[in-house]
Structures are given as C-alpha cells and as structure tokens.
C-alpha cells in the first residue's frame, strides 16, 4: 500500500571476470526507508552497492532505480538522483571543510549553507583542514557533501570505517532523520550492526554473496543470535 520502490534489485548475479561475488540477490528500498546491508568481510556488500549504481555490470537479473532500469552510463547516475558514499568517505583531507563543501555544490542545487541545517557543527569547522577533523566530523562532512547532490537513492559504504561505536552513535540517527524528512531511500553498509539495525527499517545479511537472512530490522534487533548465525553462515 506504499509508493513504488526507489531502488529495486531483482535476482542479480554480479562479480568480477566472470566469477560471481553476489548470487541471485533481490531487495527493494522505498522512499524514506533505510535498508541495513550487513555481512562479514568479502560477503559482497560493496559489490552490491557498485552494481546498484550501474558501475558494475550484472551477469543476470535486473536493477531499476527511480522508475527506470539502471543506466550503465554512470556519468548519468548522479544526475538521476543516485549517490554513493565510499568507505574513504569522499573527503579531501588536504582541503578545508569549506573547500570540500564548495566542490560538491551543484549549479541550481541547494546552497552550501543548507548543510548546516543538518550538521550545525560543520559551520564552526569551515576553516579547518579536513585531515585534522575527528572521524565523527569527517562523517558529517561526507554526508553534508552528498546532501548537496539532493539524492533520492543514497548508498553508503561503511561511513564509519575505523571509527569507534561512540563516534558512530551520533551520525546514524541524523541519517535516519534526513532519510525520513527528504524521503531518501538509503542502503547502509555498516559494521556496527546494532547501531545500523537501530535506525534501519529493513535488513539483509549477506554471506559468501548469498542472502543468509533478510527481514524487518526490528526482528533482527530482537534476535541477535539469528544475525550472528547468518554472519557465520550457520543458518
């Protein structure tokens, strides 16, 4: 009884040099929904994100985003409203915060100042060199930069890579609020499982490229043994 999915992945098999890294994967994300994409190292999470933006060809299956099949001409991806935040966070460490934000500003897009509505702290950091920011501040900047693209589908690859749970605790609830307010469909790859499940609507655990577990995030929150079994491939 809801709108059409913003991102729809149907039975995709995708890999490298003809060797599948992800097999027969299906999921949907609706506007304003967050899907937590979980799984151990090498499970195929990054591969899934890259295929979802059209950067990797699928060997079989279909992907559509915002009502049309995904375009392999990835220069169109951002214009179509899809955005990918890499695990390096897409931040230039040598540059100041204001320069990093300016580089993401788009003609006709929202002003740089609109980022401060979500992340007021960034306003106080404008002249700081990004390499000197804390991990949590870099996360804010990474999300702030991507918000200037006004994405409708947002794919996030371990935004909190290398950060402590404390540093992550602040950013994920803000991501939740932004997704809801702006009706953005989010796929969140995250190693902090509990924090990801706390803000997600749905969840999916990959193991060796296959779905080991999928369902409402709330169910996985309540049954952590189920999640652990899926991580270890014993389901």
Min CB(154)–ligand ATP separation in Å: 17
Min CB(21)–ligand ATP separation in Å: 3
Q: Which is nearer to ligand ATP, 83 or 147 (CB)?
A: 83
Q: Which is nearer to ligand ATP, 119 or 231 (CB)?
A: 231
Binding site for ligand ATP (CB under 6 A): 16, 21, 39, 41-47
Please report, to the nearest 10 degrees, the dihedral formed by the alpha carbons of residues 203, 199, 134, 87 taken in order: 20
Min CB(103)–ligand ATP separation in Å: 26
Q: Which is nearer to ligand ATP, 33 or 158 (CB)?
A: 158
Per-residue DSSP letters for 159-175? TTTT--HHHHHHHHHHH
Min CB(68)–ligand ATP separation in Å: 25
What distance in Å separates the CA atoms of residue 150 and residue 24, rounded to the nearest whole number? 30
Continuous segment of H or E residues that includes residue 186: strand 185-189
Q: Which is nearer to ligand ATP, 41 or 94 (CB)?
A: 41
Please report, to the nearest 10 degrees, the dihedral formed by the alpha carbons of residues 171, 176, 181, 185 taken in order: 120
Place of tokens 């389901």: 235
How does DSSP classify residue 131? G
């Amino acid at each position: 009884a809801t709108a059409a999915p913003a991102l729809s992945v149907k039975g995709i098999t995708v890999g490298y040099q003809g060797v599948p890294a992800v097999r027969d994967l299906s999921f949907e994300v609706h506007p304003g929904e967050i899907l937590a994409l979980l799984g151990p190292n090498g499970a195929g999470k990054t591969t899934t994100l890259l295929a979802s933006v059209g950067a990797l060809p699928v060997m079989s299956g279909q992907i559509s985003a915002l009502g049309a099949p995904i375009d392999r001409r990835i220069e169109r991806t951002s214009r179509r409203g899809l955005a990918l935040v890499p695990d390096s966070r897409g931040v230039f460490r040598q540059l100041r915060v204001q320069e990093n934000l300016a580089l993401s500003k788009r003609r006709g897009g929202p002003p740089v100042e609109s980022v401060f509505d979500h992340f007021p702290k960034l306003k106080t950091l404008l002249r700081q060199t990004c390499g000197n920011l804390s991990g949590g501040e870099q996360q804010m900047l990474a999300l702030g930069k991507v918000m200037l693209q006004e994405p409708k589908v947002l794919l996030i690859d371990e935004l909190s890579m290398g950060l402590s749970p404390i540093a992550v605790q602040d950013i994920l609830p803000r991501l939740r609020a932004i997704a809801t307010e702006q009706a953005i469909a989010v796929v969140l790859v995250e190693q902090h499982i509990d924090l990801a499940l706390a803000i997600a609507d749905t969840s999916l655990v990959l193991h060796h490229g296959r779905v080991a577990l999928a369902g409402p995030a709330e169910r996985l929150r309540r049954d952590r043994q189920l999640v652990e079994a899926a991580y270890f491939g014993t389901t």
